């Protein structure tokens, strides 16, 4: 078989593989759209669930998920970015640093239910926060921190050393260099980390199971110490326990969750593209 | 030829009188930086061996030598940029205006303001042209916000870049050509009002026209600043520098007036190098 | 010149060729000077004409050397002793070409005076010419050997000797012209010849001073 034929074959195979990857995702989306779209209405999105979730809307769940995501980001971003900055810019290379990095990589692979139990033990029980938004945010924050650290570290490492040298030669201290040159330049990469963190936080079910989510609540949370409804858990509840709820509501909820995640992703990607355009080097 | 006594003498004997070529060696030069017995160690390997040299105030001093001979390492000692590399050790002393730069209470940040640097690869920040030049002044709060624009303009004019960028100060610095970017880096360095400007092979990444432009710029700048340039292009040294030093294997083999180094070097190693006989 | 293996082999060989050409020109004008004096002493017109004809060859070689020097300067960016060598050759070729011209002038005098026997046998002029010839030869030798001691000698002792002879001959010929008006024409021409020979010696000191510069880097007046 000559080179040209091999080239064509390789191309065809790779295209096929790509299509195969997209097909399941497209399939899922299609089903969700077909079955769930009928449920979507203004009432659905703004009202509370009624009659054992067989009627009404999912407004509280949406709000709860939103609060959860915001809270997680508030917890994870400072910790993650700060940690990454320390490890990249300040820490002396050596065994200790390598161990820390190894630990972070391992943390990223811990199953989420384990995080849930961790959160339960530390925040809910030991610190007596109870089943609450703050427990959920802290737990999810810890879960998501490795993602933020890894993405931020990569972004920081991608900043050319020459920028740091130039800044130092102009008489900047290390912190000034980091804050005025390195972080702004690494922003696209940091945003990537944020995107990933948000996606995880919005879609996790197991951790929120133990720490913050309730099956049914009569009202929206008033403080961070209140429990919340969240879309993933709400979906789980609909699917397993509210068996007499119409299918459209279930698919509708799933659709909203996916839309939320997609929406956040796309927004962040757009922001990232815009940031990248001005900072390309 | 007949001399004043009416005697027939050879023309060779008749002195050329009245055509005095005064020797500029008589110029008195002030020392800006004094380097005494400087040795530099990267871990266990010695990069600089006992370097002694006086850098003249408001003149261009060039450092030439083959790759890896230590001239860039030497340059980076002058503004303590080697501090940023872990596991380096310095012996000996460097005095700026008579004061050692290695004393315990020396503020390295202040030193780097007085002794600026331009690098081999132009490295403007991924910000606007204005923000690049304003970076230093903002950092050190050199002037008020209202004066900043004037300050930036002055620096860009000094770097012979103003006319080309005055209408696009807010556009990204990365859209400039290589030569323009390098002049921007010079403007950025000048904006903190240094006394000494160190240039590490500033033209090696540039085309000949940009190179000549920057050499012209150097000749203008030396009226106000002391320039020390490292170059692997010895013809550049011969074009712009008054003093030249030849580095080989971490040693400063010979140092003196550029025209002496290139026309009649004393050390045979210098002689071989400038003639292109690397053995 | 460096004897170690060199990266610039082509350039080295170009420099060697340049030196060889200069020495060729030097031999040429040495022979021309010798021929001219012999022609003058023996009143040999044929020899004198041969000397004059040779000048074209000398001029052409001078031009070629100068062109090659300029080429090397433009293309090779020579430094240090290479630069000094080329600078020396550039000046020396001019000096040698002038010596050739003076030889031609002496040959022309020989032709002009060939019709009549000399009012006295030529003794001092050939002696002065010998000194001048020896200076030319010694200068070329000093160039090859880079001999600074010889350079010093050429610029002081030898040049002084030629000057002394020139002075003496001037006085003698002047006295002859004053006492015996019938020999004025010959004596005047002989005066010219002494002047030509004195100029030859001067050009030799010029070349010698450049040899000193080539070796030491110092451009000074030694004569």
pLDDT of C201 higher than 60: yes
Q: What CA dihedral angle connects B88, B91, B97 and B101, to 10 degrees?
A: 40
Residue B9 pLDDT: 42
| pLDDT score at B26 | 42
First to last CA, chain B: 49
Q: What is the mean pLDDT of residues C102-112?
A: 96
pLDDT band at B16 (very low <50, low <70, confident <90, very high): very low
pLDDT band, residue A270 (cuts 50/70/90) = confident
Closest CA to A249 of A64, A29, A37: A37
Cα–Cα distance, A191 to A82 (Å, whole number): 14
Residues A90-116: what's their mean pLDDT? 90
Mean pLDDT of C201-211: 96
Q: Is the pLDDT of residue B80 over 90?
A: yes
CB A256 within 8 A of CB A202: no
> N- to C-terminal Cα distance for chain C?
26
Give chain A positions within 8 Å (CB) of B185. 166
Cα A207 to Cα A64, A240, A257, C176, distances in angstroms:
14, 18, 17, 131
Q: Which chains touch A (3 or more CB pairs under 8 A)?
A: B
Q: Which residue has the higher pLDDT, A238 or C133?
A: C133
| pLDDT tens track for A126-152 | 988 888 888 889 999 999 999 899 989
- Pairwise CB contact (< 8 Å): C7 & B276: yes
CB-CB under 8 Å, B262 with C7: no
Residues A192-202 as b or e (16 or more Cβ within 10 Å = b)? bbbbbbbbbbb
What pLDDT score was predicted for residue A201?
Answer: 82
**Model pLDDT, residue C169:** 94
Q: Token digits for C187?
A: 């004596």
Half-sphere exposure of A92 (CA within 13 A, CB side): 6
pLDDT at residue A199 in the model? 83
- Helices A59-85 and A183-203 cross at an angle (nearest 10°) of 140
pLDDT, chain C, mean = 93
Mean pLDDT of chain B: 88
**Sign, CA torsion B126/B128/B129/B135:** negative
Instruction: Tell me how many degrees the CA angle C90-C91-C94 measures, rounded to the nearest 5.
Output: 95
Q: Name the more confident of B2 and B123.
A: B123
Q: Tally the residues of chain A.
A: 281
A100-104, A254-258, B265-269, range with the lowest pLDDT: A254-258
* Cα–Cα nearest to A153, from A260, A80, A230: A80
The whole-number average pLDDT for the span B242-262 is 95
* A37-46, A60-69, C5-14: range with highest mean pLDDT: A60-69
- pLDDT, residue A52, reads 65
Give me the helices (H) in B34-170, please: 71-78, 108-114, 129-140, 145-158, 162-165
In chain B, pLDDT over 90 holds for what percent of residues?
77
Share of chain C above pLDDT 70, in %: 97
Ranking A79-83, C8-12, C205-209 by mean pLDDT, the lowest is: C8-12
Would you state the pLDDT for residue A222? 77
| Closest Cβ–Cβ partner in B15, B275, B277 for C221 | B15
Which of the two residues, B188 and B276, has the higher pLDDT score?
A: B188
* Count helices and strands in chain B by DSSP H and E runs: 10, 10
Give yes or no for residue A240 having a pLDDT over 50.
Answer: yes
Confidence at residue B14, expressed as pLDDT on a 0 to 100 scale? 43
In this complex, do A160 and B117 lie within 8 Å of one another by their Cβ atoms?
Answer: no
Question: Which tokens belong to B180?
Answer: 């323009």
Q: Which of A214-228, B215-229, C136-150 has the lowest mean pLDDT?
A: A214-228
User: If you average pLDDT over residues C147-164, what whole number do you get?
Assistant: 95
Average pLDDT over residues A21-33: 90
Q: Residue B56: which pLDDT band, with cuts at 50, 70 and 90?
A: very high
Sign of CA dihedral A123, A126, A127, A132: positive
Cβ-defined contact of A167 to B172 (cutoff 8 Å) = no
- Residues of chain A contacting residue B129, judged by C-beta atoms under 8 Å apart: none
Q: pLDDT value at position B23?
A: 41
Report CB contact under 8 Å: A165, B110: no
Please give the share of chain C, as a percent, with pLDDT higher than 90: 85
Write phi, then psi, for A53 (nearest 5 degrees): 65, 10
Closest CA to B236 of B196, B206, B264, B191: B206
Check contact C-A (3+ Cβ pairs < 8 Å): no
Query: For position B3, what pLDDT does the model report?
Result: 52
Q: What is the pLDDT of residue B12?
A: 40
What 3-state DSSP class applies to B198? strand
Task: Spell out the domains of chain C, with CATH numbers in brackets.
Answer: 3-216 (1.20.58.220)
Which has the minimum average pLDDT: A45-49, B70-74, B87-91?
Answer: A45-49
Residue A161 touches partner B, C-beta closer than 8 Å: no
CB neighbours (10 Å) of residue C150? 18
Which pLDDT band, with edges at 50, 70 and 90, does A278 fall under? low
Paired tokens of B265: 């070097």
Rounded Cα–Cα distance for residues B220 and C72 (Å)? 32
Contact yes or no for B8 and C163 at CB 8 A: yes
pTM confidence score: 0.81
Q: Of B147, B229, B155, whose CA–CA distance to B192 is shortest?
A: B155
Q: Among A2-16, A175-189, B26-40, C208-222, which stretch is predicted with the lowest mean pLDDT?
A: B26-40
Q: Do A169 and B86 touch (CB under 8 A)?
A: no
Model ipTM value: 0.85
Per-residue pLDDT at A56 exceeds 80: no
Task: Return d(Cα A57, Cα B221) in angstroms, integer.
Answer: 73
CB neighbours of C115 closer than 8 A, spacing ≥ 6?
Answer: none
User: What's the CA gap between A178 and A180, in Å, rounded?
Assistant: 6
Q: How many angstroms separate the CA atoms of C223 and A126, rounded?
A: 105
- Please, what is the Cα angle at C221 between C220 and C223, to 5 degrees? 145
Per-residue confidence band for B5, with pLDDT thresholds at 50, 70 and 90: low
β-strands B243-248, B251-257 pairing: antiparallel
The neighbours of chain B, by the rule of 3 or more Cβ pairs under 8 Å, are: A, C
Mean residue pLDDT across chain A: 86
Mean pLDDT of B233-256: 94
Q: How far apart are CA B168 and CA C191, in angstroms?
A: 80
Query: What is the tens place of the pLDDT at every residue in B128-145?
Result: 999 999 999 999 998 898
pLDDT value of residue B2? 52
Q: What is the pLDDT of residue A48?
A: 75
The token pair that represents B97 in the structure block: 């205006």
Chain B residues with CB-CB distance to C216 below 8 A: 264
**What is the average pLDDT across A232-240?**
82
Within 10 A of B44 (CB to CB), how many other CB atoms are there?
7
List the single residue in B234, B265, B277 with the smallest CB-CB distance to C8.
Answer: B277
Q: For C57-93, what is each residue's pLDDT tens digit?
A: 999 999 999 999 999 999 988 999 999 999 999 999 9
Q: CA-to-CA distance for A255 and A34, rounded, in angstroms?
A: 10
pLDDT one-digit tens code per residue, B189-227: 999 999 999 999 999 888 888 898 899 999 999 999 999
């Amino acid at each position: 078989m000559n080179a040209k034929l091999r080239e064509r074959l390789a191309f065809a195979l790779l295209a096929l593989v790509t299509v195969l990857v997209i097909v399941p995702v497209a399939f899922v989306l299609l089903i969700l759209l077909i079955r769930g779209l009928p449920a979507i209405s203004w009432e659905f999105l703004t009202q509370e669930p009624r009659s054992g979730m067989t009627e009404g809307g999912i407004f509280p769940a949406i709000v709860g998920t939103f609060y959860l995501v915001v809270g997680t980001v508030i917890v994870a971003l400072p910790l993650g970015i700060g940690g990454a900055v320390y490890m990249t810019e300040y820490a002396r290379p050596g065994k200790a640093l390598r161990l820390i990095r190894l630990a972070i990589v391992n943390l990223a692979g811990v199953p989420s239910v384990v995080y849930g139990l961790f959160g339960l033990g530390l925040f809910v029980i030991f610190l007596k926060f109870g089943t609450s938004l703050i427990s959920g945010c802290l737990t999810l924050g810890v879960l998501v921190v490795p993602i933020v650290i890894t993405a931020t570290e990569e972004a920081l490492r991608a900043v050319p050393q020459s920028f740091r040298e130039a800044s130092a030669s102009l008489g900047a201290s290390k912190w000034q260099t980091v804050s005025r040159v390195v972080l702004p330049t690494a922003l696209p990469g940091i945003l990537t980390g944020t995107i990933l963190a948000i996606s995880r936080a919005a879609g996790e079910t197991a951790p929120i199971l133990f720490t913050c989510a309730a099956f049914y609540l009569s009202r929206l949370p008033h403080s961070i110490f209140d429990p919340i409804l969240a879309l993933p858990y709400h979906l789980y509840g609909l699917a397993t326990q509210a068996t007499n709820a119409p299918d459209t509501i279930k698919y509708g909820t799933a659709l909203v969750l996916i839309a939320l995640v997609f929406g956040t992703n796309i927004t962040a990607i757009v922001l990232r593209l815009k940031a990248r355009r001005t900072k390309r080097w | 030829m007949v001399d004043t006594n009416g005697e027939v003498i050879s023309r060779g004997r008749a002195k050329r009188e009245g055509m005095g070529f005064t020797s500029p060696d008589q110029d008195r030069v002030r020392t800006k930086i004094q380097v005494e017995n400087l040795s530099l160690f990267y871990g266990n390997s010695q990069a600089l061996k006992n370097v002694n040299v006086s850098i003249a105030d408001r003149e261009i001093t060039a450092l030439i030598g083959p790759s890896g001979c230590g001239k860039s390492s030497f340059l980076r000692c002058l503004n303590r940029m080697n501090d940023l590399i872990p596991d380096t050790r310095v012996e000996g002393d460097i005095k700026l205006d008579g004061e050692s730069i290695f004393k315990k209470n020396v503020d390295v940040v202040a030193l780097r303001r007085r002794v600026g640097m331009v690098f081999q690869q132009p490295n403007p920040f991924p910000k606007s042209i204005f923000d690049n030049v304003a970076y230093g002044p903002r950092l050190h709060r050199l002037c008020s916000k209202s004066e900043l624009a004037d300050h930036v303009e002055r620096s860009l004019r000094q770097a012979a870049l103003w006319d080309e960028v005055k209408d696009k100060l807010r556009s990204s610095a990365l859209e400039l050509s290589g030569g323009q970017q390098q002049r921007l880096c010079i403007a950025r360095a000048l904006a903190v009002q240094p006394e000494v400007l160190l240039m590490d092979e500033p033209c090696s990444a540039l085309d000949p026209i940009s190179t000549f432009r920057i050499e012209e710029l150097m000749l203008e700048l030396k009226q106000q600043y002391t320039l020390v340039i490292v170059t692997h292009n010895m013809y550049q040294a011969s074009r712009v520098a008054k003093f030249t030093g030849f580095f080989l294997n971490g040693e400063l083999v010979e140092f003196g007036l550029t025209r002496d180094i290139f026309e009649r070097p004393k050390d045979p190693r210098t002689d071989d190098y400038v003639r292109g006989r690397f053995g | 010149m460096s004897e170690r293996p060199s990266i610039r082999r082509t350039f080295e060989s170009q420099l060697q060729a340049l030196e060889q050409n200069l020495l060729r020109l030097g031999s040429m004008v040495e022979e021309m000077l010798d021929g001219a004096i012999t022609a003058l002493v023996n009143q040999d017109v044929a020899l004198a004409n041969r000397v004059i004809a040779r000048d074209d060859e000398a001029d052409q070689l001078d031009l070629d050397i100068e062109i090659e020097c300029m080429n090397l300067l433009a293309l090779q960016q020579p430094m240090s002793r290479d630069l000094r060598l080329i600078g020396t050759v550039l000046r020396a070729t001019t000096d040698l070409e002038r010596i050739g011209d003076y030889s031609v002038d002496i040959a022309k005098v020989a032709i002009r005076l060939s019709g009549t026997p000399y009012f006295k046998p030529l003794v001092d002029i050939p002696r002065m010419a010998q000194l001048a010839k020896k200076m030319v030869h010694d200068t070329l030798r000093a160039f090859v050997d880079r001999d600074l001691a010889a350079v010093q000698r050429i610029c002081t002792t030898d040049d002084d000797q030629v000057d002394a002879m020139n002075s003496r001959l001037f006085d003698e010929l002047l006295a002859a012209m004053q006492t015996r008006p019938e020999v004025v024409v010959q004596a005047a021409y002989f005066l010219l010849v002494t002047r030509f020979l004195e100029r030859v010696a001067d050009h030799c000191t010029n070349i010698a001073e450049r040899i000193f510069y080539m070796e030491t880097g110092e451009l000074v007046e030694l004569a």
